[in-house]
Amino acid sequence: MTEVDVVDPESGVSVKRDGSSLGEIVLRGGCLMLGYFKDPVSTSKCVTEKGWFYTGDVGRGGGVCAIHEPMINEAAVVARPDEFWGETPCAFVSLKKNNGDASNQEAATEKYIIEYCRARLPHYMVPKTVVVKEELPKTSTGKIKKYELREMAKAMGSSRISRL
């Protein structure tokens, strides 16, 4: 598993997850390099003793990679055609299973998820459409097949009726 964080480059402390605090993107996990080949000086400049790789890229602390809503298992957002805007965000979500309890299905409505996002994201990132699926399509390695979700969103047609 790979970990991602946004930290203050001087102190190494995670920045506030408020969507506006800036820091350096750091990564840690088994799929990352251990260091530069026969170059310990360069390695020490970008990889910490705890294995964090400093990418040199600036990022904002926020829920970009994490979902904090307890009912949602996973989510992916793709563009959906829109006659007025050209395209708008369309979220595909799967819900956590609660031992046969149907309360997640009832509570996690499209309206609820949009309101949840509206309270935490800039207005242009809030999905205009939410599709709840039992499971999102995945590759054999577990990555979400966004190209399939894009096709589904495209097949849904425009997200609004033309204003003409």
Q: Which domain holds residue 12?
A: 3-60
Looking at the structure of the chain, the number of domains it has is 2
Residue 146's domain is classified under what CATH number?
A: 3.30.300.30
Tokens describing residue 68? 């904090």
One digit per residue, the tens of pLDDT, for the chain of length 164 reads: 788 888 988 888 988 877 777 888 899 988 888 889 999 999 999 999 999 999 888 776 654 445 667 788 888 999 999 988 899 999 999 988 764 555 555 667 888 889 988 988 888 889 999 999 999 999 888 888 999 999 999 999 887 654 43
**First CA to last CA distance, the chain:** 50
| Sheet of strand 129-132, all strands in order from the earlier edge strand to the far edge | 72-82, 86-95, 129-132
In a domain, 27, yes or no: yes
Same domain flag for 96 and 138: yes
In a domain, 163, yes or no: no
Same domain flag for 44 and 77: no
Instruction: Please state the pTM of the whole predicted model.
Output: 0.57
Same domain flag for 49 and 91: no
In a domain, 161, yes or no: no
In a domain, 98, yes or no: yes
Same domain flag for 138 and 88: yes
